[in-house]
């Protein structure tokens, strides 16, 4: 096993998701994940404090990209236009590997209450990052919170459709998340 092989973090995530899907979250050990990824246990612990953290491996990056996109939106952008800019920026971090992994990740999360809890915490964290970025733009708290929640819902809906769609690998996540945001915007307008 190579001690400093590139891509170890990504291989660990893929190995963990595959093992969680094959044998269940509870039955999977850190040693098994490390072995499947071709790294040592100490390499695992350099990247993750425990196996629960594998699910939220890119959360910090995703939160940062969402917030940066919102901050960089034009000054006259509405809250949802700023959220759209954040979604567009965050989608750049998700490539074909993420798309391929998505169905296995979904199955692993569905089979484990602990992973469902981590996924929920991830959702809350992403909404908080967008809300904070919107408040920093001067958007009032209730409006920022609602726009942040719609942004997370759009991201999750767009990501799910992107992962399930049979289109070519050239399809980018941004189109799916922005279409989902447009659908949610229309749906919220119909609430009266």
Which of 192 and 90 is assigned the larger pLDDT?
90
| Sign of torsion over alpha carbons 6, 56, 66, 191 | positive
Which of 192 and 162 is assigned the larger pLDDT?
162
**Average of per-residue pLDDT across 148-170:** 85
The pTM of this model reads 0.81
Structure confidence by residue, pLDDT tens digits, 17-60: 889 888 888 899 999 999 999 999 999 999 989 888 887 777 78
What the block records as the tokens of 145 is 């919170």
Q: Who's near 34: CB < 8 A, 6+ residues apart?
A: 12, 15, 40, 41, 43, 44
pLDDT band at 169 (very low <50, low <70, confident <90, very high): low
pLDDT band at 2 (very low <50, low <70, confident <90, very high): very low
- pLDDT over 90 (residue 92): no
pLDDT band at 67 (very low <50, low <70, confident <90, very high): very high
Structure confidence by residue, pLDDT tens digits, 181-191: 999 999 998 88
pLDDT band at 95 (very low <50, low <70, confident <90, very high): confident
| Sign of torsion over alpha carbons 79, 85, 89, 90 | positive
> Of the given ranges (70-74, 142-146, 149-153, 159-163), which has the lowest mean pLDDT?
159-163
């Amino acid at each position: 096993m190579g001690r400093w092989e590139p891509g170890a973090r990504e291989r660990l995530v893929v190995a963990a998701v595959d093992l969680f899907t094959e044998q269940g979250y509870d039955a999977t050990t850190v040693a098994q994940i490390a072995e499947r990824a071709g790294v040592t246990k100490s390499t695992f612990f350099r990247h993750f404090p425990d196996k629960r953290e594998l699910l939220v491996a890119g959360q910090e990056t995703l939160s940062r990209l969402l917030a940066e996109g919102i901050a960089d939106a034009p000054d006259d952008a509405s809250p949802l236009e700023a959220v759209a800019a954040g979604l567009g920026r965050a989608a750049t971090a998700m490539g074909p590997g993420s798309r391929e992994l998505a169905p296995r990740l979904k199955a692993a999360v569905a089979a484990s209450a602990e992973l469902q809890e981590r996924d929920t915490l991830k959702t809350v964290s992403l909404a908080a990052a967008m809300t904070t970025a919107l408040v920093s733009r001067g958007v009032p708290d209730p409006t920022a919170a609602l726009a942040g929640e719609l942004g997370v819902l759009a991201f999750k809906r767009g990501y799910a459709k992107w992962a399930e769609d049979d289109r070519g690998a050239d399809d980018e996540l941004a189109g799916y998340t922005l279409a989902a945001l447009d659908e949610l915007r229309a749906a919220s307008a119909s609430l009266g």
